[in-house]
């Protein structure tokens, strides 16, 4: 038997006022899914352990047969794997978002406005990554000398700290969870002595440096949202995960535009299949992804095709 898992990420969601208090699923025209529901089996599965928040990292691991309570060490280590970032067993890995925050003297001062900095481009983000790291190392050498930043896609980047500092107990907040809220009220806290303070210093330093960077001044001139801050979250160490083939005897493949899902695929020994035109936004080539999935299932035993746009 062969298996295809289709993940329309975020499509269930909560009712949205702009959609007449309907969920995206309720508002969408879905003749093919409706037909599958008619002829297939419909059910509900809980993919979030009690101690976890509902998120793409834990839920996706669970959906693919890996208990997050056992194998999940943090979101960032999964994304780092997709980028090919090599880390040691005690290195802490973080997600770094370029975000837009309300600036002084504006009605939105101090608020988290956009977790993606207006979907900043890869090229712009890479310039900011390089210059921000230079700034950190020049102004905070004792902290930043063991820090590295790896650019990902758009606003999504990876930070690795090789100092041996223990960030395991530090509470960090996903920026997409606090739109319109005070970012200062959601800064890292708790954990081992000084660990949260290190992250706070890096983040506050970025908030001073980034707004006047030439990349942001150009974006402002073009009416685009600026990357006014580097938001650090989702930390963890490299997990140890058994391969899917060893556990189930099946060869798998992942089709996704998102490093998180690609990273999970990397850890469980699946191939990531590139699809031209596949993006994380509504401009993605849905038909191309569908064709690639149909072609892949001829070669693999199980294929997961992940659609990020609804999220």
Q: Where is the domain boundary, 207, 236, 265?
A: 236
Distance of alpha carbon 283 from alpha carbon 16, whole angstroms: 21
Domain contains 49: no
Domain contains 252: yes
**Do 221 and 267 sit in the same domain of this protein?**
no
Q: How far is CA 139 from CA 75, 111, 133, 306, in A?
A: 28, 26, 10, 41
**Digit-coded pLDDT (tens) for 84-112:** 999 999 999 999 999 999 998 899 999 99
Domain contains 266: yes
Q: Give residue for tokens 């020049």.
A: 138
**Do 148 and 194 sit in the same domain of this protein?**
yes
Residue 189 scores a pLDDT above 80: yes
**Do 229 and 82 sit in the same domain of this protein?**
yes
Domain that holds residue 288: 3-41+55-72+239-307
Grade residue 151 by pLDDT with cuts at 50, 70 and 90. Answer: very high
**Do 187 and 279 sit in the same domain of this protein?**
no
pLDDT of residue 49: 86
Distance of alpha carbon 259 from alpha carbon 267, whole angstroms: 12
**Do 122 and 261 sit in the same domain of this protein?**
no
pLDDT of residue 12: 83
Q: Give residue for tokens 């007449």.
A: 20
**Do 31 and 88 sit in the same domain of this protein?**
no
> Into how many domains does the chain fold?
2
Distance of alpha carbon 281 from alpha carbon 279, whole angstroms: 6
Domain contains 48: no
Domain contains 106: yes
Q: What is the mean pLDDT of residues 188-206?
A: 95
**Do 161 and 217 sit in the same domain of this protein?**
yes
**What's the whole-model pTM score?**
0.88
CATH number at residue 262: 3.40.720.10
Q: Are 197 and 134 in contact (CB under 8 A)?
A: no
**Do 147 and 249 sit in the same domain of this protein?**
no
Q: Give residue for tokens 């969870």.
A: 177
65 φψ region: left (φ > 0), alpha (ψ -120 to 50), beta (else)? left
């Amino acid at each position: 038997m062969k298996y295809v898992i289709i993940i329309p990420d975020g499509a269930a969601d909560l009712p949205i006022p702009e959609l007449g208090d309907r969920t995206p699923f309720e508002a969408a025209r879905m003749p093919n899914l409706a037909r599958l529901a008619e002829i297939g089996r419909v059910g509900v599965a809980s993919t979030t352990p009690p101690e976890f928040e509902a998120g793409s990292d834990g839920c996706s691991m669970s959906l693919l047969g890996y208990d997050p309570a056992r194998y999940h060490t943090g979101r960032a280590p999964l994304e780092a794997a997709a980028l090919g970032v090599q880390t040691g067993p005690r290195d802490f890995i973080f997600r770094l978002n370029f975000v837009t925050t309300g600036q002084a003297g504006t009605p939105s001062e101090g608020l988290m406005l956009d977790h993606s900095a207006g979907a900043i481009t890869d090229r712009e983000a890479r310039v900011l990554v390089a210059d921000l790291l230079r700034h950190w190392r020049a102004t905070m050498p004792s902290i930043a000398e063991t820090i590295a930043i790896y650019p990902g896609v758009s606003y999504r980047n990876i930070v690795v700290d090789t100092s041996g500092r223990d960030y395991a107990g530090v509470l960090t907040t996903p920026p997409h969870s606090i739109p319109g809220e005070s970012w200062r009220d959601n800064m890292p806290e708790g954990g081992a002595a000084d660990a949260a303070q290190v992250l706070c210093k890096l983040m506050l330093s970025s908030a001073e440096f980034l707004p006047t960077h030439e990349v942001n001044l150009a974006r402002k001139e073009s009416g685009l949202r600026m990357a006014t801050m580097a938001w650090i979250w989702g930390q963890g160490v490299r997990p140890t995960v058994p391969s899917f083939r060893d556990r189930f005897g099946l060869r798998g493949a992942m089709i996704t535009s998102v490093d998180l899902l690609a990273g999970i695929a990397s850890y469980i020994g699946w191939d990531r299949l590139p699809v031209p035109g596949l993006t994380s936004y509504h401009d993605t080539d849905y038909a191309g992804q569908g064709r690639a999935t149909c072609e892949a299932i001829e070669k693999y035993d199980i294929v997961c095709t992940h659609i990020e746009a609804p999220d």
